[in-house]
């Protein structure tokens, strides 16, 4: 049975997951880097760690994870310091996945991990983070990265604001302060990045992509995103859409 190694600073999450047996996932805690190294040698399915742990700061451990084809999931809240860590990680291990910390519910976290681990890679987060990090102020990168992470599944502005710990009006004011496009448009950009990535990199058809992203149909996905990105996600996926969306961020998402 696939095993996920836990290298988490939050003892409550670590203990809850260590006792969990849901679906095809089992969990084992590693309380030291030495224990983690030993666990990596047994070829687990994934490693779940905190954002500023010794794992991220240790290039040798990252090389071991990469060499064994293990999936790396970062469990975090997107504070300024964490975003800086993820920007740094994106240049060394762009295939990382992100599990956002929200009020802790073991079942919700495990369902999130199941979805993250089932996908072929970490999606566009690492690659796009590395490409756009120099386009915006470090404090503004928090909002861009949050929109990108949330793009995995359809989310409204209220959900985006909640994750950021802000009221919707305060979120709008923050976007204006940092000269970012409005919250709705930035969210749509993040969603488009995921939809295009899934079609372009995974070879998924528009229907499967739309359903994975929380849209009722491919036409609903296209209707929601085309006004923001200029072309349908399916069209972009046929013409190096990830690069197009990177350029779109520079030209239209930053005012």
Model confidence over 112-147: pLDDT tens digits? 777 788 788 889 999 999 889 888 888 999 999 999
Phi/psi class of residue 93: alpha, beta or left (left: φ > 0; alpha: ψ in -120 to 50)?
beta
Residue where a domain stops, chosen among 73, 91, 118: 118
Q: Are residues 129 and 252 in the same domain?
A: yes
Whether residue 243 sits in one domain with residue 144: yes
CA angle at 248 for the pair 217 and 215, rounded to the nearest 5°: 10
**73 & 157 share domain:** no
Q: What is the pLDDT of residue 21?
A: 60
Contact yes or no for 90/127 (Cβ under 8 A):
yes
Structural domain including 144 reads 125-255
CATH number where 228 lies: 1.10.10.60
Whether residue 101 sits in one domain with residue 216:
no
Let me know: does 55 contact 36? Beta carbons within 8 Å: yes
Dihedral (CA of 216, 112, 187, 124) sign? negative
Q: How many whole angstroms from its chain centre is CA 230?
A: 24
**CATH assignment of the domain containing 41:** 3.40.50.2300
> What's the gap between Cα 235 and its chain centre?
23
| Domain match, 38 and 150 both | no
What local confidence, expressed as pLDDT, does residue 81 receive?
Answer: 86
Out of 99, 118, 137, a domain closes at: 118
| Tens digit of each residue's pLDDT, the chain (255 residues) | 578 898 888 788 788 777 766 556 788 888 888 899 999 999 999 999 887 667 777 778 889 999 999 999 998 888 888 888 888 888 888 889 998 877 556 667 777 777 788 788 889 999 999 889 888 888 999 999 999 999 999 999 999 999 998 999 999 999 999 999 999 999 999 999 999 999 999 999 999 999 999 999 999 999 999 999 999 999 999 999 999 998 888 888 887
3-state secondary structure of 1: coil
Using alpha carbons, select from 94, 95, 124, 97 the residue that is nearest to residue 245. Answer: 124
What is the β-pairing status of strands 25-29 and 46-49?
Answer: unpaired
Rg of the chain on CA atoms, in Å: 18
Q: How many domains does the chain have?
A: 2
Residue where one domain finishes, among candidates 118, 135, 156: 118
């Amino acid at each position: 049975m696939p095993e996920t190694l836990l290298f988490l600073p939050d003892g409550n999450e670590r203990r809850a997951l260590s006792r969990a047996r849901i679906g095809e996932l089992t969990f084992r805690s590693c309380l030291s880097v030495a224990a983690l190294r030993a666990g990596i040698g047994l070829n687990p399915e994934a490693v779940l760690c905190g954002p500023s742990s010794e794992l991220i700061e240790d290039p040798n451990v990252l090389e071991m994870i990469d060499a064994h084809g293990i999936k790396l999931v970062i469990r975090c809240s997107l504070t300024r310091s964490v975003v800086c860590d993820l920007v740094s990680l994106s240049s060394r291990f762009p295939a990382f996945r992100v599990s956002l910390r929200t009020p802790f519910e073991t079942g919700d976290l495990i369902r999130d991990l199941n979805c993250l681990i089932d996908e072929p890679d970490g999606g566009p987060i690492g690659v796009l983070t590395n490409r756009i990090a120099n386009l915006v102020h470090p404090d503004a990168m928090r909002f861009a990265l949050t929109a990108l992470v949330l793009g995995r599944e359809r989310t409204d502005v209220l959900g985006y604001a909640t994750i950021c710990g802000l009221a919707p009006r305060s979120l709008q004011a923050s976007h204006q302060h940092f000269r970012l496009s409005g919250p709705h448009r930035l969210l749509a950009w993040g969603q488009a990045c995921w939809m295009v990535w899934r079609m372009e990199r995974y070879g998924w058809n528009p229907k499967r992509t739309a359903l994975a992203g929380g849209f009722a149909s491919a036409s609903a996905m296209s209707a929601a995103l085309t006004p923001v990105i200029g072309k349908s996600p399916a069209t972009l996926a046929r013409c190096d859409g990830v690069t197009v969306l990177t350029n779109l961020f520079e030209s239209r998402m930053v005012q």
